């Protein structure tokens, strides 16, 4: 027979007490929590995880969205009646909120944790409206609190919630993120253009070229080819030589010049044309200078003619020098004077022969007058005839001397160098 086990009363009592105590604790906790739920929250704490760098949404805006706009009175509303999940949904509905968490801790404080969206690019549509797009292809409107500077994408068509629009959004985000990942391209590319075929073009910061990028196939190779073209070509010949750079073809950079192309020219002909142009320019300048010099010299000559020089004035001011004539010159002069006197006398005699009667009458009158005034004196008559001859000779010599003096003065005035010969002055013969 099997032995019957003894039932311990002590163990049974321990189990019963344990059950009673545990149920009591549970009931106490439930009742305590229910009592706490009937109490309102003490305070609200709002946390924005990336608010130090971005300010697209502020704490007061979160408070308005979660509580104020829903007309919740936290001071009178018990915690059990607060819709925590509804608050989270309202916050997530804001386009600038990426994630939201709302809960109440043991100290009855309502916590709200919000994460802002970070824009990847700013899109400008064909109707000139603009908005931001982030890495999750979510669209955000312009913020009233701040302006965010990022890559600009222009000429974007209307983006709807269809597959084609989502594919274009994805391509834009992929391209912009690759540009921003490289510091050089992030600084060099200022604008991305979406053309009518939904291909991409770039507007650079340095240079005035339009870069035709095409689609995103072989994107890294296209960027490396463009960088090599910058380094090996544009750095040597200049950044303004080309108008367009085409990267759409594999392994190629097709550059279109900004200036029409001119073929090769014969260097010898170019150098000769260059030399001829220099010679022509110099000849023109020389002719202009010679004409100017001639005009200036003519003006100077006119001024000198109007105002005689100091040397000429000195020559005119000083008296003529007395020049001693040689004995041969004196004899020749006397001989010439005698000939002239003889000619005059011969002319007088001829005139007297033509009119003898008139002459006799005049002589008779003169004689009568002289006789009346003075008695006839043979000596006086002889002296008078001698005096008349001397006067005639003297007048003739003075005229001649004046003419020679005039000629000498004219010569002195014409001489510009200032070295004139002394004018010859002929003095009248002094008769003893």
CATH for 97: 3.10.20.310
> Are 162 and 238 found together in one domain?
yes
> Are 359 and 252 found together in one domain?
no
Structural element, H or E, at residue 139: strand 139-140
**Domain's final residue, options 225, 257, 289:** 257
> Are 278 and 400 found together in one domain?
no
- Greatest mean pLDDT among 7-16, 37-46, 205-214, 274-283 lies in 205-214
Residue labelled with tokens 């269809």 = 162
> Are 148 and 245 found together in one domain?
yes
Q: What is the pLDDT of residue 422?
A: 45
Residue 227 in tokens? 């960088």
Contact (Cβ atoms closer than 8 angstroms) between residue 148 and residue 54? yes
Q: pLDDT tens digit string along 112-136?
A: 999 999 999 999 999 889 999 999 9
Measured from the Cβ of residue 116, the count of other Cβ atoms closer than 10 Å reads 22
Measured from the Cβ of residue 97, the count of other Cβ atoms closer than 10 Å reads 22
**Residue (of 114, 89, 113, 115) closest to 103 by Cα position:** 113
Domain assignment present for residue 316? The answer is no
Residue 198 structural domain: 119-257
Contact (Cβ atoms closer than 8 angstroms) between residue 200 and residue 193? yes
Number of domains in the chain: 5
Domain assignment present for residue 395? The answer is yes
User: The pTM is what?
Assistant: 0.52
Q: pLDDT tens digit string along 257-288?
A: 866 545 455 555 555 666 677 767 777 766 66
Domain assignment present for residue 111? The answer is yes
Q: pLDDT tens digit string along 204-259?
A: 998 888 999 999 999 999 999 999 999 998 888 888 888 899 999 998 999 888 66
Domain assignment present for residue 427? The answer is no
The residue ranges of DSSP E strands in 209-339, in sequence order, are 210-214, 242-246, 254-257
Rounded CA gap, 106 and 165, in Å?
A: 47
Tell me the pairing of strands 109-116 and 189-194: unpaired
Whole-Å CA distances, 54 to 50, 51, 127, 379, 399? 6, 5, 28, 151, 121
> Are 33 and 133 found together in one domain?
no
């Amino acid at each position: 027979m099997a032995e019957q086990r003894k039932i311990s009363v002590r163990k049974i009592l321990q189990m019963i007490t344990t059950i009673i105590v545990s149920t009591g604790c549970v009931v106490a906790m439930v009742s305590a929590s229910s009592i706490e739920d009937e109490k309102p929250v003490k305070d609200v704490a709002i946390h924005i995880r990336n608010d130090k760098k971005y300010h697209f949404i502020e704490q007061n805006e979160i408070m308005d969205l979660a509580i104020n706009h829903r007309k919740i009175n936290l001071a009178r509303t018990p915690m059990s009646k607060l819709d925590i999940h509804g608050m989270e949904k309202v916050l997530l509905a804001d386009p600038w909120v990426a994630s939201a968490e709302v809960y109440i801790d043991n100290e009855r404080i309502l916590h709200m944790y919000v994460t802002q969206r970070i824009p990847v690019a700013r899109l400008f549509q064909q109707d000139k409206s603009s908005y931001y797009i982030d890495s999750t292809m979510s669209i955000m409107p312009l913020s009233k609190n701040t302006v965010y500077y990022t890559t600009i994408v222009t000429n974007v068509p209307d983006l709807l919630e269809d597959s084609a629009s989502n594919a274009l959004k994805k391509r834009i985000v992929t391209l912009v993120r690759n540009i921003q990942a490289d510091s050089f391209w992030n600084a060099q590319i200022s604008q991305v253009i979406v053309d009518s075929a939904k291909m991409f073009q770039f507007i650079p910061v340095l240079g005035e070229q339009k870069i035709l990028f095409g689609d995103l196939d072989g994107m890294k190779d296209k960027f490396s080819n463009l960088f090599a073209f910058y380094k090996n070509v544009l750095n040597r010949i200049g950044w303004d030589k080309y108008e367009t750079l085409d990267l759409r073809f594999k392994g190629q950079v097709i550059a279109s010049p900004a200036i029409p192309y001119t073929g090769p020219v014969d260097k010898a002909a170019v150098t000769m044309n260059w030399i001829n142009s220099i010679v022509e320019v110099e000849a023109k300048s020389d002719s202009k200078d010679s004409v100017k010099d001639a005009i200036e010299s003519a003006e100077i000559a006119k001024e000198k003619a109007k105002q005689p020089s100091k040397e000429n004035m000195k020559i005119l001011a000083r008296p003529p020098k007395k020049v001693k004539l040689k004995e041969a010159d004196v004899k020749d002069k006397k001989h010439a004077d005698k000939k002239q006197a003889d000619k005059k006398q011969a002319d007088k005699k001829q005139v007297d022969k033509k009119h003898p009667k008139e002459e006799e009458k005049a002589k008779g009158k003169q004689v009568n007058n002289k006789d009346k005034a003075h008695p006839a004196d043979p000596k006086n008559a002889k002296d008078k005839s001698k005096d008349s001859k001397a006067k005639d000779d003297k007048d003739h010599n003075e005229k001649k001397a004046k003419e020679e003096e005039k000629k000498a003065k004219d010569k002195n005035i014409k001489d510009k160098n200032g070295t004139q010969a002394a004018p010859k002055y002929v003095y009248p013969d002094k008769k003893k």
